[in-house]
């Protein structure tokens, strides 16, 4: 992380070895854009490639190829774009563009803040006037300050989805902070940090009605960046089945040291559980126990629980009663408690009292 004039930001993206190769967390696929891999999206439309020689053909294929989603968008900070353009132009650009902010926030921030720009082309084989795209790929994309999005979600659906993330609570202290995900120097490392967190990946990469969202980012390097090194982040289909849960940030998402400390705490939690229940967990490999603990901590932190003792019990219950044991409550009261807005201690007490009033088949957690 470095301290820039517009705030702290990360300067690296996931390490994907080799042109066009995929890396996967099991939930998120990282694909390095490279010219030789254009066939991955059905090839680059010939007319579009001829009209946009500045753009890598695979990037055009990922956005406009026959097998690519139907819509392409630009997500960008208005102020950062103005640094390249020399002036703010998103309010007069010849394509549909709107700030993610509304009303007073939009008036206060003016040209700064996140803007969503529709770069979709109805027929890539007859693209028509694409002067906006020509300028974008010639000047703005190489600067590494833009996020491209590939999805089937309509403009208003995508904008409404992204608007939810502009301010988010932080699990560690419940502060509400602005989340600058529209800056690729923040978004790329954040997606990497949550690559094994299904709850938050579901929120960031799939709309509520099931449209997958793929993000395309250029690694840091400014004008010297190799545009063929762009990374395509795409969710796996299974994420669409992940239940919707509240979206929260953690300071560890943006600090490698904090992430290491959080990982160490989860490892200690798993060790304690194996020590406390040696007979019950004798047939469970340590890695399997750790995986359940990691998933349980991520899941219940998403509901706003951060007390270590509470998370320890949630992890234990997940081990013995299953990853979604609260759904065993026929009244739905446990799930309602999790989604409530009462203080953490009050919610945990209510959850524990309700949980102890009915039996859940422990074999559900043996799988």
In a domain, 62, yes or no: yes
pLDDT, averaged per 10 consecutive residues of the chain (367 residues), comes to: 34 45 68 64 83 87 92 94 85 88 67 90 89 91 92 97 94 89 92 89 94 89 61 90 88 86 93 95 94 91 90 95 88 91 93 80 41
Domain of residue 338 covers 255-365
Within this chain, do residues 137 and 261 fall inside the same structural domain, yes or no?
no
Within this chain, do residues 224 and 318 fall inside the same structural domain, yes or no?
no
Q: Is residue 175 within 8 Å of residue 168, measured between CB atoms?
A: no
Within this chain, do residues 86 and 14 fall inside the same structural domain, yes or no?
yes
In a domain, 299, yes or no: yes
User: Among 197, 216, 241, which residue terminates a domain?
Assistant: 241
How many CB atoms are closer than 10 A to CB 310?
A: 18
How many CB atoms are closer than 10 A to CB 262?
A: 19
In a domain, 246, yes or no: no
Within this chain, do residues 279 and 227 fall inside the same structural domain, yes or no?
no
Within this chain, do residues 81 and 203 fall inside the same structural domain, yes or no?
yes
Within this chain, do residues 230 and 293 fall inside the same structural domain, yes or no?
no
d(CA 155, CA 116): 8
User: Among 206, 241, 276, which residue terminates a domain?
Assistant: 241
Two tokens at 90?
Answer: 């998103």
Within this chain, do residues 161 and 228 fall inside the same structural domain, yes or no?
yes
What pLDDT was estimated at residue 90?
85
What pLDDT was estimated at residue 55?
87
What pLDDT was estimated at residue 307?
92
What pLDDT was estimated at residue 149?
97
Within this chain, do residues 203 and 313 fall inside the same structural domain, yes or no?
no
Count how many domains the chain has: 2
In a domain, 249, yes or no: no
Within this chain, do residues 25 and 59 fall inside the same structural domain, yes or no?
yes
Output the CA angle 91-119-96, nearest 5 degrees. 35
What pLDDT was estimated at residue 367?
42
In a domain, 154, yes or no: yes
How many CB atoms are closer than 10 A to CB 285?
A: 9
In a domain, 250, yes or no: no
User: Among 241, 270, 302, which residue terminates a domain?
Assistant: 241
In a domain, 248, yes or no: no
What pLDDT was estimated at residue 319?
94
d(CA 295, CA 364): 16
3-class DSSP state for residue 183? Answer: coil
Within this chain, do residues 344 and 236 fall inside the same structural domain, yes or no?
no
Within this chain, do residues 231 and 291 fall inside the same structural domain, yes or no?
no
Two tokens at 217?
Answer: 């980012």
- Per-residue pLDDT of 101-160, as tens digits, reads 987 665 566 677 899 999 999 998 888 889 999 999 999 998 888 999 999 999 999 999
In a domain, 42, yes or no: yes
Within this chain, do residues 267 and 312 fall inside the same structural domain, yes or no?
yes
């Amino acid at each position: 992380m470095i301290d820039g004039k517009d705030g702290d930001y990360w300067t690296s993206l996931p390490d994907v070895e080799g042109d066009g190769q995929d890396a996967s967390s099991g939930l998120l696929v990282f694909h390095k854009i490279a010219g030789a891999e254009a066939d991955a999206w059905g090839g680059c439309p010939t007319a579009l490639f001829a009209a946009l020689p500045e753009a890598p053909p695979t990037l055009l294929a990922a956005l406009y190829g026959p097998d690519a989603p139907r819509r392409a968008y630009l997500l960008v900070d208005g102020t950062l774009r103005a640094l390249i353009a020399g002036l703010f132009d998103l309010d007069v650009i010849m394509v549909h563009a709107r700030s993610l902010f509304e009303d007073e926030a939009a008036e206060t921030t003016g040209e700064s803040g996140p803007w969503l720009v529709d770069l979709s082309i109805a027929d890539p084989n007859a693209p028509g006037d694409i002067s906006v795209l020509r300028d974008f790929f010639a000047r703005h994309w190489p600067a590494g300050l833009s996020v491209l999005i590939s999805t089937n979600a309509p403009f208003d659906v995508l904008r409404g989805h992204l608007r939810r993330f502009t301010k988010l609570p932080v699990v560690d202290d419940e502060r509400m902070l602005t989340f600058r995900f529209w800056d690729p120097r923040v978004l790329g490392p954040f997606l990497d940090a949550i690559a094994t967190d299904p709850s938050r990946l579901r929120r960031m990469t799939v709309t509520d009605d099931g449209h997958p969202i793929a993000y395309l980012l250029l690694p840091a390097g400014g004008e010297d960046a190799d545009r063929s090194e762009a990374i395509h982040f795409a969710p796996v289909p299974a994420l669409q089945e992940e239940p919707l849960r509240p979206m929260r940030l953690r300071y560890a998402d943006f600090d490698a040291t904090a992430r290491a400390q959080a990982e160490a705490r989860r490892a200690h939690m798993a060790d304690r559980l194996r020590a406390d229940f040696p007979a019950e967990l004798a047939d469970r490999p340590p890695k399997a126990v750790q995986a359940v603990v990691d998933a349980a901590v991520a899941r219940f932190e998403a509901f706003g629980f951060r007390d270590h003792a509470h998370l320890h019990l949630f992890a234990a219950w997940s081990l013995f009663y299953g990853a979604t044991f609260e759904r065993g409550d026929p009244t739905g009261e446990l799930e309602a408690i999790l989604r409530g807005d009462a203080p953490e201690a009050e919610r945990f007490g209510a959850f524990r009292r309700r949980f102890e009033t009915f039996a859940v088949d422990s074999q559900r957690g043996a799988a």
